[in-house]
Structure 1
């Protein structure tokens, strides 16, 4: 199974709360760019998509969903916020691995880095650029980090 972990796109700072920060135009463009790059790497449809309930993560999913294969199931979660519990998320993903061939998570720093570390202990906790993505090969309850990419590493389209 493949687990794709994405950090939301760049967000503005003008909001009443951190949860309400919207994507910038650059955040939208870079997220779409990353989704277009990812699409050919996904075999068939996306299984499960989980996005944070924070506005910027929800908007990231809304802007990339039409660029990716159709998802079997989409969930909004209050467990994958910036300071969510990576171990708890990992347990949930492990349970879902029995049902889906691929999972996409749209979340935040620092959780995205800690989640990579929880799934792939030898990888450490990498930093993610906004709109950055990691791909983990998950087999027999063991993960291997295949790649970590950001918009700055992609050719402009």
Structure 2
């Protein structure tokens, strides 16, 4: 299974509540840049947090990659959810290529749990940060980190080429 983990794009600083914070224009731009990396990936399922900025991030990705299915909104992808709930869900999925759109600290903790077997590892995922994990069996500590990038890395790489 290939698991893509994407942190939402840059969001406005204030809103009536944290779940209602929307993407900024810069946030939409940075998500579109990172989403371009997914264009040739056979994404089977796109799951997102119910928070507005995550939903908007998933919509930008869907548009960029031409994903024709809907976005599955799941309640266990919010910032302070337990990463083991994600692992339990993923372990039961028949799909082979999933994209999760979520928030810090969950995204870093989930990468750490899947790769290292604990939540304490440091995996920097700034806004629009993307991780790709490959695993034959979904369980704590069994995944291999194949990619960890963000818009700043992509901009730097483009300058070097």
TM-score with structure 1 setting the length:
0.89
Partners of 2:68 and 2:7 lie apart in 1 by 18
Larger strand proportion of the pair: 1
Cα deviation for residue 127 of structure 1 reads 2.0
In the TM superposition, what are the counterparts of 1:75-86 in structure 2 within 5 Å? 75-86=72-83
Alignment of 1:18-57 (within 5 A): 18-40=18-40, 42=41, 45-57=42-54
The range that moved more, 125-134 or 64-73, is 64-73
Question: Separation in 2 of the partners of 1:153 and 1:38?
Answer: 16
Cα distance in 2 between the residues matched to 1:18 and 1:7:
15
Matched, 1:89 2:82: no
Aligned with 2:143: secondary structure?
Answer: strand
Task: Provide the rounded CA distance (Å) in 2 between the counterparts of 1:138 and 1:125.
Answer: 19
- Secondary structure (helix, strand or coil) at the match of 2:125 reads coil
Q: How big is the shift at 1:138?
A: 1.3
Deviations 1:40-65 (A, max 9, x none): 3x1xx311111000000000011120
Maintained 8 Å contact 2:47/2:100? yes
CA contact (8 A) 1:6 1:104 kept: yes
Q: Indicate yes or no: 2:126 matched with 1:133.
A: no
Match of 1:9 in 2: 9
Residues in 1 aligned to 2:70 and 2:12: alpha-carbon distance in whole angstroms:
29
In structure 1, C-alpha distance between the alignment counterparts of 2:70 and 2:114, rounded to whole Å: 22
How many pairs are equivalent?
A: 152
| Structure 2: gaps spanning 5 or more residues | none
More deviation in 69-78 or 48-57?
A: 69-78
* CA distance in structure 1 between the partners assigned to 2:70 and 2:43 by the alignment: 8
For structure 1, which runs of at least 5 residues remain unmatched after alignment? none
CA root-mean-square deviation: 1.9
Q: What is the alpha-carbon distance in structure 1 between the residues aligned to residue 76 and residue 146 of structure 2?
A: 25
Q: Which moved more, 1:47-56 or 1:60-69?
A: 60-69
Q: Would you say the 8 A contact 1:2–1:136 is kept in 2?
A: yes
What is the CA distance between 1:153 and its match in structure 2?
0.5
